[in-house]
Amino acid sequence: MTLSPVVAGCWRMAGWGMDAPARVRWIEQCLDLGVTSFDHADIYGGYTVEALFGEALAAAPGLRDRLQIVTKCGIKLVSPARPAHAIKHYDTSDAHVVASVERSLRELRTDRIDLLLIHRPDPLMNADALADTFERLRAAGKVLHFGVSNHAPSQFALLHRRVALSTNQIEFSPLHLAPLSDGTLDQCLELGLRPMLWSPLAGGRLFTGDDAAARRVRGVLGEMAREQGVSPATVAYAWLLRHPSRPHPITGSRRIEAIAEAVAAQTIRLDHQQWTRVWAASTGHDVA
């Protein structure tokens, strides 16, 4: 499986106020920057975002073969769009995963999903049954690759022993350092898998948060940005890309300028001291 180094996140697309031609232009601008992978989930936008993206693909059919579609399933939200859901819960049963894939294919107006992720760990997951579901979807050509999101190393290993997984999409940012110490990134390195990173700018907290850690990290990023002649956001992305697991950060913005800042991080390589300055600002102390 090949994803672009930076992935465009579509989580908030329902709130962007774009008509179909504007969505087409946004996709084209991402492609022009080398961002060819687009991250979705069935639940995004109250179960509406996949259809918005699919409408754009239908308006410009030539786009589909130029990009990769990532989507997720397994969360059932309480929503007017899903009146049968009485409580938010997780479901990795064969019936739900297959139905979710069929619905995503229709909404996205495509004949295949490049990468399907299980969105959250399901305490009732039957790993053998889910592996069988994955293999049938792959054999049918409906899903090309599989992975998970937000899974701990043991949860990842449980499923990976039964079916080859391509990635674990995790939260990681200069303000969320847990994957450095909880074994998640170690596992990616051990298996040679590149993680995907959601909320790489801490959901905007990195530049708007008033807590002490955010202020410290923001100060260091600003200093380094002036040294490098780039934006602080670019330095933040460069800090993430410096990890040897070669992660794929997911942007969350409609602004092409913000996506370009992420792409620009590929030209910057922080040394050990620079990387540790950001880590120390986040933790509030030097390394032991």
Q: What is the pLDDT of residues 156-205, one digit of tens each?
A: 999 999 999 999 999 999 999 999 999 999 999 999 999 999 999 999 99
Give the three-state DSSP class for 233. helix
Residue 268 to residue 230: CA distance in whole angstroms: 9
Q: Are residues 141 and 256 in the same domain?
A: no
Of 151, 166, 181, which closes a domain?
166
Same domain as 120, residue 244: no
Active site residues: 44
Q: Do residue 54 and residue 104 come from a single domain?
A: yes
Which pLDDT score, from 0 to 100, does residue 1 have?
84
- 272 plus 214 within the same structural domain: yes
Whether residue 231 sits in one domain with residue 144: no
Task: Provide the CA 103 distance to its chain's centre, in angstroms.
Answer: 20
Beta-sheet strands, E only, within the chain: 7-9, 37-39, 68-73, 75-76, 89-90, 113-118, 143-149, 168-171, 196-198, 248-251
175 inside domain: no
**Model-level pTM greater than 0.95?**
yes
What does residue 123 show for φ and ψ, rounded to 5 degrees?
-60, -25
CA neighbours closer than 13 Å in the CB half-sphere of residue 71: 30
> Are residue 16 and residue 151 in the same domain, yes or no?
yes
Boundaries of domain holding 114: 1-166
Q: Domain ends where: 122, 143, 166?
A: 166
The CA distance from 25 to 37, in Å, is 15
Cβ contact 126:94 at 8 Å = no
CA-CA distances (angstroms) from residue 198 to 142, 219, 242? 25, 23, 16
Is the domain of 158 the same as that of 226? no
Q: Are 20 and 91 part of one and the same domain?
A: yes
Evaluate whether residue 252 is within a structural domain. yes
Given a cut of 90, whether residue 102 has pLDDT beyond it is: yes
If you average pLDDT over residues 40-61, what whole number do you get? 98
Tokens of 88: 């938010």
Helices within 113-248 (DSSP H only): 127-139, 153-160, 184-191, 205-208, 212-228, 232-241
* Calpha distance 81→182 (Å, rounded): 36
Of the three residues 150, 166, 182, the one that is the final residue of a domain is 166
Q: Does residue 29 sit within a domain?
A: yes
The answer as to whether 129 is a domain residue is: yes
How do residues 124-163 score in pLDDT, each as one tens digit? 999 999 999 999 999 999 999 999 999 999 999 999 999 9
Q: In this structure, what token pair is assigned to residue 201? A: 């700018």
User: What mean pLDDT is reported for the chain?
Assistant: 98
What confidence tier does 12 reach under pLDDT thresholds 50, 70, 90?
A: very high
Q: How many domains does the chain have?
A: 2
